[in-house]
Structure 1
């Protein structure tokens, strides 16, 4: 569960706090709470805070209050609570109109209510939520990455974190693209900065799940986030959720992209590690194809799924060498690109025109290259069995990183 501007109103002791503007933004997540009387907050807010003011420094200066509200809205704060009393008698209409237009939540709280009680209550809720998430993450790390027996006790613990044995769960693995390279290029070594980036990504993913009413079980390890997403039998919208996560991270963080591997679906806690592994294998294919910012589903891997199950790759390498090594060596010796031409030609179902268009060369050049390929490989590219073997070896070459 997230602590949001909306659900804090249900906390005990907050009965007298009411929303007066910006109701469209009540789903904003509250990361912490501050009480301030200083109009300039730019040096100490990080985003996501809920601010409380009594108005000692601002008073009934509408212009100064407007500047303050615009500033904290621009800095992505969660909302503002105005202590209505001797300093600010009521929230000016101009402020309310602005907050409504930008969906920035503004609350009013009677002056006689003790701020310390309210802020402690909210902070306690945030802290408790954080501890629960850490506990669940440790539990899920044990389930996914360690060889453990699923006992009744573990099932009971899982239920405390929202696990429902009557639901199916789909694995989602979200990996930060080239994160180590990004840190190196930007000379980022500070652990707090690195941790902050990861936390922002995790919070973004959690928020997408929250918006889609998904009570997920999840953990993080290294640069990847592992989610088990409950699925409704009548509506498996995992592709939509994955796309939303990818786009939202691009939108909110900007300098970071992620790739997402979708694993299979299971209906018991003991199957979580298996379908998470499928999601990780799907992500490996993005590395083979050197793709970033993409989504790949394990069920769409086709023959690559068989490759992952083969522990000894010697026979695969031998098959590649028998069918394509001569062409690869010819390219290396002559600085040509016949192997790439062959890959495109087969991908386009041996259509000379489309192949020429993709490679930006003349159709006759493609005809010459195809003939030269047949000579080097001593094969007939009209023979369907030959085509099958070559296509298979192309995939082996990609899988074993023999084709760049």
Structure 2
């Protein structure tokens, strides 16, 4: 569906039946935007691309030694063809010039000597104006069609169907935002690895057109019969109108979804904050969203590591920083959507709430304990792997205990939060922790904010903290690493990428400042507990 006129089309003009193509047959389908007369050897500065140059041949005869150079310059300037009256000044165009034109893809046409320039220019311009006028009419008609679709509130399937009819092409639309594929009035949910793999193959092999505003991508129109290396430039004018319609359609769905998500978030927030006191209230509110809480239920919290820190590094009052902020927000949105998709593939009836840089899932299951632990572990492993590989971020996951009633799930949420906090003390980031496997840390968590406990912590490692603050050293970090590596100085040196003697020296310094003999197990236990309490209070 070409909306432009080519050199080939121009040559089909009845008055041009005696024109002869001498070279450049491979370039006959290049677009023509205008025609002009060449009467000097430097017509290139004014060229905008797509021109046919009409010449008596005088310039080329006068500068015959530079003919090949002029040809290349015309090609580089975007000129698509040379219409020349060969017999006026030449007997024949030199063979090496014709061979060069074939090589670089530049059309040379012999114009009969008796034809006046106006008899060439007027029909050519008339053809160009006619095709441009028709293109405008088509564009207006397409614009009206899509505008009417949006006004009428037609769904995505209808819009995609109209696009296919207009193009007379076999197309589908992959809605990346909602993970859906629209094809021949069918809607296919792409919420598993196999479907997403098929989509990625299509995107890699077929010609596509991105749908979305500015830098955002909502989806792709995929031309199923057009290979990747074939351009669809001639469709772009019409596609721009399709883009507008699909953007409006997507934004309408996003807006509706955001309103519903806000109400869902408020409901789940009330559940985990223990603001709902009766099973009857839960069931009534859940019914609005089509939810049912019938099985044992637990909370799982997935929190993006260091996201706030990265966000706060960027100052919003700077224009370039605002762009980075937008990109970071876009990454967060896609990352959380991927997390939701993965968890939903393991727990199809799960419900969730998004809180800034974390997601709270309420998971229902009727599996036996061992099978359920394996299932949770597999889900957490896939979430962490996907986030790390696709977004260069990590997440920490905390999982609370199962509760028999939804009104008690706020306790599971607190357990999941505790699991995340303790997991970060032990593993720093990219961790997965079940509340049931916290062991002694559950005891520490219940007392770490107690003033007597803080006093104990200060009495054991306060001198090291003060020393670091006074001398701007990092002995506390070294001590933490030594304790985490089971008090093995050699292993600590390897993990910290330091010389063994450096760690050995620091260890002696630490023992001196603490006035402790850290070779004794009791001293190590006390210092180890103090370090963990200190880290939990950071």
Q: Smaller-chain TM-score range? A: 0.5 to 0.7
Q: SS in structure 1 opposite 2:411?
A: helix
Match of 2:381 in 1: 243
Aligned residues between the structures: 321
- Deviation of residue 149 (structure 1)? 0.9
- Deviation of residue 324 (structure 1)? 1.5
Match of 2:167 in 1: 58
- Deviation of residue 275 (structure 1)? 1.0
Distance of aligned partners of 1:162 and 1:148 in 2 relative to their CA distance in 1, 3 Å threshold:
closer
Match of 1:207 in 2: 341
Q: SS in structure 1 opposite 2:401?
A: strand
- Deviation of residue 272 (structure 1)? 1.1
Match of 2:276 in 1: 148
Instruction: State the distance in 1 between where 2:142 and 2:347 align.
Output: 37
* 1:79 paired to 2:181: yes
Distance of aligned partners of 1:128 and 1:270 in 2 relative to their CA distance in 1, 3 Å threshold:
same
Distance of aligned partners of 1:310 and 1:37 in 2 relative to their CA distance in 1, 3 Å threshold:
farther
Asked whether the equivalents of residues 214 and 230 of structure 1 are also in contact (C-alpha less than 8 Å), the reply is no
Match of 2:421 in 1: 284
Equivalent positions of 1:212-223 (< 5 A) are: 212-223=346-357
Distance of aligned partners of 1:381 and 1:191 in 2 relative to their CA distance in 1, 3 Å threshold:
closer
Instruction: State the distance in 2 between where 1:325 and 1:377 align.
Output: 9
Unaligned segments of structure 2, at least 5 residues: 1-140, 147-155, 186-197, 207-220, 225-245, 315-319
- Deviation of residue 389 (structure 1)? 0.6
Match of 1:163 among 289, 292, 297: 292
Instruction: State the distance in 2 between where 1:75 and 1:154 align.
Output: 33
Deviates more, 1:193-202 or 1:218-227: 193-202
- Deviation of residue 197 (structure 1)? 6.2
- Deviation of residue 130 (structure 1)? 7.8
Asked whether the equivalents of residues 282 and 296 of structure 1 are also in contact (C-alpha less than 8 Å), the reply is yes
Match of 2:135 in 1: none
Instruction: State the distance in 2 between where 1:348 and 1:194 align.
Output: 35
Asked whether the equivalents of residues 400 and 435 of structure 2 are also in contact (C-alpha less than 8 Å), the reply is yes
Instruction: State the distance in 2 between where 1:80 and 1:287 align.
Output: 43
Match of 2:476 in 1: 339
Asked whether the equivalents of residues 54 and 82 of structure 1 are also in contact (C-alpha less than 8 Å), the reply is no
Distance of aligned partners of 1:102 and 1:340 in 2 relative to their CA distance in 1, 3 Å threshold:
same
- The higher radius of gyration belongs to 2
Q: CA RMSD in A?
A: 4.6
Instruction: State the distance in 2 between where 1:171 and 1:150 align.
Output: 19
Match of 1:102 among 202, 210, 233: 202
Match of 1:323 in 2: 460
- Deviation of residue 360 (structure 1)? 4.0
Higher relative contact order (CA 8 A, sep 6+): 1
Deviates more, 1:129-138 or 1:239-248: 129-138
- Deviation of residue 271 (structure 1)? 1.6
Match of 2:364 among 217, 220, 230: 230
Higher helix share: 2
Distance of aligned partners of 1:359 and 1:135 in 2 relative to their CA distance in 1, 3 Å threshold:
closer
Q: SS in structure 1 opposite 2:277?
A: coil
Deviates more, 1:273-282 or 1:173-182: 173-182
- Deviation of residue 356 (structure 1)? 3.3
- Deviation of residue 147 (structure 1)? 2.8
Instruction: State the distance in 2 between where 1:193 and 1:99 align.
Output: 24
Match of 1:4 in 2: none
Q: Output one character per residue of 1:206-229: Cα deviation in whole Å (capped at 9) or x when no partner.
A: 322332243012223343321111
Distance of aligned partners of 1:219 and 1:307 in 2 relative to their CA distance in 1, 3 Å threshold:
same
Equivalent positions of 1:2-401 (< 5 A) are: 51-53=160-162, 55-59=164-168, 65=169, 78-82=180-184, 102=202, 135-155=263-283, 157-158=285-286, 161-165=290-294, 167-183=295-311, 185=314, 187-188=321-322, 200-234=334-368, 235-236=371-372, 237-249=375-387, 254=391, 257-285=394-422, 291-310=428-447, 312-401=449-538
- Deviation of residue 387 (structure 1)? 1.4
